[in-house]
Structure 1
Amino acid sequence: MMTRNRRRILASVAAFGAAGMVLAGCSGGPGTTNGGGGGEGGDDDNVVTVYGTISGTEAELLEESWAEWEEENDIDIQYEASQEFEAQIAVRAQGGSAPDLAIFPQPGLLADMATRDYLVPAPEEVVANAEEYWSPLWQGFGTVDGTVYGAPLMASVKGWVWYSPATFAENGWEIPTTWDGLKELTAQIAGETGAPPWCVGFGSDAATGWPGTDWIEDVVLRQSGTDVYDQWVTNEIPFTDPQIKSAFDEVASIILNPEYVNAGYGDVQSIGTTPFGDPATALASGDCLLHHQASFYDGFIVDAGATVAEDGDIWAFQTPPFEESGDGAATVTGGGEIVGAFDDSASTQAVQVYLSSPEWANSRVSLGGVISANKGLDPENASSAILTEAIKLLQDDATTFRFDASDLMPSSVGSGTFWQGMRDWVNGTDTDTILEQIEAGWPSS
């Protein structure tokens, strides 16, 4: 069960670099727009090719989610997954062999393709669905220079801290309501147990480092607010800014402290070599008492043999704010995908419209393991209690939501120097050097 924004087990930094070079080398002329797509099904009105990062069991469920619609509409959707998506989508577009549709895990990458005239604007029906069923914020992730190129697909809510309710009750540990409270809880558990409470894993094959970016993003948003977060995403506020360094320092106070990590796996440096899914086993066994990961992680925990419920083996609370708001409104980060089209054939548009609808969202979510920010989604269709909670957060107008910053940044930074920087950081490179290295990844123009 692997997806890019929920699992992010994808292309290497080198692959992203290759994508950047391919895109930079484009002359600006369109690749495969208007009626052909260039995919294997591009010349067949009854075949629509879809390319994305969703693989394994989740790819099977994706295909199951649209199977009935395919039959009813006499359209064959042919899905292809790739762990080299970010590099290959650029190569295919430049070479005239793009798929009909692509499921972009990064709004920044979709914007790159749109500004180079590889994508076609979304049809009116997709725009209408986006306006009716998605918040203005989510609509914006598929909009480039005022033109809508796609609607969102699935989503995740990040920033959950996973723990054992029974263990907390036995020891009298309380769920913290502030970031300082989380640090105090960490110190309390370490002092009372004599062992590190946190398990952390940055390992994700060629994508190693991405879980660390999630930590930083959660703290930037909660500590400095939406304006700073938004300016950071566009580099109006650079990584070297004191506000961003403060977020690194706060995260360091937990994950770079050898008294607090790495439960069940080793020292601080073991973070970089611990696969991000492995701590689920440590949580289930009780070797790890705290773990920071997104809503999708319940699947890993269930696979490890534990139940996920408020009264079950493992449950989760959101990373707390730096200051309590008093109104109970949540501030969260998350991710998702956007469906963009490389041709405007009738069959391609029909599939794109369906994937933007609440009918598809309910079909897929009811099959388990994922959520969507589509307002037409029934939260009760979610396959677990934590996913239901995540959907409610996304649908609550009071929730302050921001998309994963690294996915909004240019790939040379977000999945390039940022990922690499997180790897180097846990291996001992000092914070100032790390921030300078990450910032150096920003394109000059």
Structure 2
Amino acid sequence: MPRTDPRNRRPLALAAAAGSVVLLASGCGYLSGEGGGGGGGDASDVDCAPFEAWAEVEGTVSIYSSIRDEEAERMDRSWADFEACTGIDIQHEGSGEFEAQLPIRLEGGNAPDLALIPQPGLLQRVVDDGYAVPVADGVAANAEEGWGEDWLGYATFDGELYGTPYGANMKSMVWYSPAYFSENGYEVPQSWDEMTELSDTIAEDGTKPWCVGFESGDGTGWPGTDWIENALLRTAGTDVYNQWVSHEIPFDDPQVAEAFELAGGIVRNPDYVNGTFGDVESIAVTSFQEAGLPLLDGGCAMYLMGSFYSAQFEEGVTVAEDGDVYGFVLPPLEAGAEVPVMGGGEFAVPFADRPEVAAVHEYLSTPEYANSRASQGAWVSANQNMDPAVIEDPASQFAAEVLLSPDTVFHFDGSDAMPSSVGTNVFWNGMIDWVTGTSTEDVLETIESAWP
């Protein structure tokens, strides 16, 4: 979710102006900790007019997701008025093992009523296996009004819609400290070579320029795929990227190997990583949640992570162009070239067709819900009818500016759009092998051999 020249007033990250930007999005909206359940509240001080359509619906609806901790609390608050004005109790459970546990639950007959699925590949799997049910008519109508074909295409199979987009994020963002850059005379880079030169300068000044963390519970490895996908978009472009995702070219195509080598010039460079955490191999055991925090005290200078990462900073940390942390878009190979941008998001997918499940899903697909959730902070929707004015934090404001632009083309990252047996299994694992010393050739061959 990010481009004017940072030397021209706003960093090439959270500002869209010079040149066109193609947003190629990437799921994996993983956050930290465990989630909680909802519960209907007192409607005496709530304006219930927006919820009249569902006022007579009753029941309990379970939602399962990878969203936890503060993000889960914000989500619970976002539907609290809906619960207070209806007879519906929403029970949310967030899990760090969501991707592995959802199929197990489905196979064991313990399906949630709704799941927020961040990978199109996993979404297709639960549809192909016969567990997901098509969305209700009211949900489908909301979806057609709120999102374009690029978004809805990921949840449409044989002409049936099986899910609606939920949150969205930008994952080509490089987080940095404006104060640290200013104090040391560093400038936001406009090309990959400039970024490499900046990294060399920072290393010579005695700081590891990059923090990197690939650990994420059962999802360990996904941050590494973001590096590869961003690199491939810059070295080979959108067409090759799409061919790679759909396996029209093999995973071990020479163009993919070139992207691995470009990313490896940073991620596997002992002079560049891993700020305050250790050597290159420490990346495998450094959690993505913790990895970017050394930006605040000069432990590292840059961190590639999604716009949702703003939720990891404690209260009191200012996310702004002149604040404690901010972001710039991972630059193209050459200054002035089109800037490919990746992002991600989740899809609300139903596994039951009871009236109360349809009611909750219908509400989640409205711009009014998007406004409610966005007003809680650190979140944005690609719903075209969402009101950007409700967004307060700069990272989400910037993401929304791009996501809601009619010129934006949104694609999920490769690991999330590939079959789940490859993208969220062997590819993720391969990134751990790669960062701990396995050759690029061997990693690529292993992943290619896993294609169904």
TM-score of the pair, normalised by structure 1 = 0.85
Quickly say closer, same or farther: Cα 1:311–1:348, change in 2 above 3 A: same
Aligned counterpart in structure 2 of residue 361 of structure 1, from 367, 370, 382: 370
The one-letter code matched in structure 2 to 1:408 is: A
RMSD: 2.2
Quickly say closer, same or farther: Cα 1:52–1:277, change in 2 above 3 A: closer
Deviation at 1:125, TM superposition (A): 2.0
* Alpha-carbon distance between aligned partners in 2 of 1:175 and 1:356, rounded to the nearest angstrom: 37
Aligned counterpart in structure 2 of residue 179 of structure 1, from 184, 192, 212: 192
Q: Partner of 1:30 in structure 2?
A: none
Check whether the contact 2:63–2:112 (CA below 8 A) recurs between aligned residues: yes
Deviation at 1:8, TM superposition (A): 5.6
* Alpha-carbon distance between aligned partners in 1 of 2:165 and 2:227, rounded to the nearest angstrom: 24
* Alpha-carbon distance between aligned partners in 2 of 1:222 and 1:396, rounded to the nearest angstrom: 22
Q: Deviations over 1:385-441 (max 9, x none)?
A: 111101111112223432122111222211211111111111111110111112222
Q: Partner of 1:239 in structure 2?
A: 251
* Alpha-carbon distance between aligned partners in 1 of 2:107 and 2:219, rounded to the nearest angstrom: 24
1:382 aligns with 2:391: yes
Deviation at 1:102, TM superposition (A): 1.7
Aligned counterpart in structure 2 of residue 126 of structure 1, from 139, 142, 145: 139
* Alpha-carbon distance between aligned partners in 2 of 1:68 and 1:221, rounded to the nearest angstrom: 42
Check whether the contact 1:178–1:324 (CA below 8 A) recurs between aligned residues: yes
1:432 aligns with 2:441: yes
1:53 aligns with 2:66: yes
Q: Secondary structure at the match of 1:69?
A: helix
Equivalent residues in 2 for 1:111-190 (5 A)? 111-190=124-203
Greater relative contact order (Cα < 8 A, sep 6+): 2
The one-letter code matched in structure 1 to 2:262 is: E
Q: Partner of 2:21 in structure 1?
A: none
* Alpha-carbon distance between aligned partners in 2 of 1:68 and 1:268, rounded to the nearest angstrom: 47
Q: Secondary structure at the match of 2:247?
A: coil
* Alpha-carbon distance between aligned partners in 1 of 2:132 and 2:192, rounded to the nearest angstrom: 42
Q: Partner of 1:391 in structure 2?
A: 400
* Alpha-carbon distance between aligned partners in 2 of 1:267 and 1:95, rounded to the nearest angstrom: 42
* Alpha-carbon distance between aligned partners in 2 of 1:214 and 1:272, rounded to the nearest angstrom: 14
Q: Partner of 1:296 in structure 2?
A: 308
Check whether the contact 2:163–2:350 (CA below 8 A) recurs between aligned residues: yes
* Alpha-carbon distance between aligned partners in 1 of 2:132 and 2:29, rounded to the nearest angstrom: 24
Q: Secondary structure at the match of 1:425?
A: helix
Deviation at 1:188, TM superposition (A): 2.8
* Alpha-carbon distance between aligned partners in 1 of 2:255 and 2:62, rounded to the nearest angstrom: 44
Q: Partner of 2:28 in structure 1?
A: 5
1:316 aligns with 2:327: yes
Quickly say closer, same or farther: Cα 1:133–1:205, change in 2 above 3 A: same
Q: Secondary structure at the match of 2:116?
A: strand
Q: Deviations over 1:282-324 (max 9, x none)?
A: 1000121111111011222345x63211011221101012245
TM-score of the pair, normalised by structure 2 = 0.84
Q: Secondary structure at the match of 1:63?
A: helix
* Alpha-carbon distance between aligned partners in 2 of 1:59 and 1:264, rounded to the nearest angstrom: 29
Quickly say closer, same or farther: Cα 1:91–1:208, change in 2 above 3 A: closer
Q: Secondary structure at the match of 2:62?
A: strand
Equivalent residues in 2 for 1:6-405 (5 A)? 6-7=29-30, 46-191=59-204, 193-302=205-314, 306-324=317-335, 330-405=339-414
Check whether the contact 1:8–1:207 (CA below 8 A) recurs between aligned residues: no
> Structure 2: where are the runs of 5+ without partners?
1-26, 35-56
Q: Secondary structure at the match of 2:79?
A: helix
Deviation at 1:145, TM superposition (A): 2.9
Q: Deviations over 1:154-174 (max 9, x none)?
A: 111101111222332333322
Quote the sequence identity (%).
49
Q: Secondary structure at the match of 2:102?
A: helix
Deviation at 1:190, TM superposition (A): 2.3
* Alpha-carbon distance between aligned partners in 2 of 1:401 and 1:69, rounded to the nearest angstrom: 30
The one-letter code matched in structure 1 to 2:95 is: S
Greater Cα shift, 67-76 or 359-368: 67-76
